[in-house]
Structure 1
Amino acid sequence: MLGEEIRARRKRLGLTQKALAALINVKPTTMCQYENGTNEMSFAVLKSIAEALKCSTVDLAYEELALPGSSETFDEKIRGAAEQKEDEPAFADPLDTEIFKLLKDLDKVAKEKVIAYMRDQKSLTVYYSAVRRRR
């Protein structure tokens, strides 16, 4: 559950609900409601919480997005893909092949930035799809 993940990450960073609420400019009672799942938050609030907790929105909402856990690093995923074929993995989509070729030459910091951007784009896509379905 999203609220449980927020609470766990907040506690790992040694933050109180009140401190996190202050960081994202909401009342402590609102923060409590977010963590307990009794109040829905906007994507903007989710993004603010993720920034305050030094993670991505996908890291917080992976269960709601039906994604596997976020413990596997980007480099591990790339290495796994590379093991399929030594120099060039076989992707069904040519764009995936191009993405792989471009990523393999980047340093770790650049790769992390790219994956954070991709996660945010996925979150936005899922979020707006859910909003459209509610209408």
Structure 2
Amino acid sequence: GNMSKDCDYFQLAKEEDVTDRVKFLGIQNNPYPYLKKADIVVHLSQYEGKSIALDEAKLLCKPIVVANYSTVIDQFTDHLNGSICERNVESATKAIIELLENEILRQNYIEYLKSHIKDNSEEITKIYNLIRDN
């Protein structure tokens, strides 16, 4: 389907007949219970800065698929600590399917993130200190 900026995802889910498998939770004050239960995290925003959501996913050691925006290389190395896809449906789909089907790759990401958790927690602390100081 064609994804415009103001795309109605619920309508799209109905058109694609996947409403039994896709749930729209709306804005959540606390995303952690959902993040903790997730098998993988998919972050496909066009975000052009430092994403706290990505740091949080790394801190929880979740295998992640992330869109290749300008600053993503500051947080991820493709196939080392996450899967970087291009910003189109085909590339994102390919990366998601690869990660879902490849248990070894998922485990490699989890192990890498676990062994680098100190780096992540220091990043989070820096971010929260910046937020607090403003």
Larger Rg: 1
Higher helix share: 1
Shared fold (TM-score, shorter chain, > 0.5): no
Q: TM-score range by the shorter chain?
A: under 0.3
TM norm structure 1 = 0.25
